[in-house]
Amino acid sequence: MREAPNYIVGIGASAGGLIAYKDLLDCLPSNTGMAFVFATHILPDAISYMVEILSRHTHMPTTMASTGMAILANHVYVSPPNSDLRIENYKFKVITPRTRGNVLVDYLLASLAESMGERAIGIVLSGYDGDGTEGCKQIKAKGGITIAQDASAQVGHMPRSAQDKGYIDFVLSPCKISEELARIARDAPVRAT
């Protein structure tokens, strides 16, 4: 069924994030009604194999995001290399090249907060520095839900930064994050059309 998602989940990571991504998807049901958007720090000129890798860990269709692409329920999307990704009215807008260094997770989550409000979920997984912290702040301010990876993160800087600022609702391992997402989907009020 090709329908708009009940929630859009923005997921960001850097160093050590691929392991967390795979663990999260391995535990995640494919029928939550949510859409999942992955933003990862990779070198600007790198070739990304993220779509191929992640597709081996989920039954959901997995696609590289492109401008104008509709965001559908029970789909996985990956940000293109050297790009900022925005969400506007259940569609993607890809800005290439990236506008500022390694803040692509903040950029994605901020647009998610603006577009989805309380139907935004931001997840910060393993990585260096503090990308994702500002985006989680904006999601919280709009009534959305924020989650950070626990001590299972290979590199704890990104999730700890958001936690230390007080912008995180849940601190969980990737598999427990999937369980929480399934619970949120199950308990969600029906969306007005």
Q: Is residue 159 part of a domain?
A: yes
Query: Which among 187, 132, 128 has a CA at the least distance from the CA of 156?
Result: 128
Q: Is residue 12 part of a domain?
A: yes
Q: Is residue 61 part of a domain?
A: yes
Total number of residues shown for the chain: 193
Residue 61 makes CB contacts below 8 A (sequence gap 6+) with: 74, 75, 76
Domain, as residue range, for 143? 8-174+182-187
Q: Is residue 106 part of a domain?
A: yes
Lookup: tokens for 127: 């990585």
CATH at residue 122? 3.40.50.180
Could you give the number of structural domains in the chain? 1
Q: Is residue 2 part of a domain?
A: no
Q: Is residue 3 part of a domain?
A: no
Q: Is residue 129 part of a domain?
A: yes
Query: Which among 126, 107, 154, 129 has a CA at the least distance from the CA of 10?
Result: 107
Instruction: Strands of 26-166 (E only): list them.
Output: 35-40, 62-64, 75-78, 84-88, 91-95, 120-124, 145-149
Q: Can you give the pLDDT of all 193 residues of the chain as single tens digits? A: 469 999 999 999 999 999 999 999 999 999 999 999 999 877 666 677 899 999 999 999 999 999 999 999 999 999 998 889 999 999 999 998 887 777 999 999 999 999 999 999 999 999 999 999 999 999 999 999 999 999 999 999 999 999 999 999 999 999 999 999 999 999 977 655 4
What is the rounded CA–CA span in Å between residue 90 and residue 34?
A: 12
What global pTM score does this model have?
Answer: 0.94
Q: Is residue 192 part of a domain?
A: no
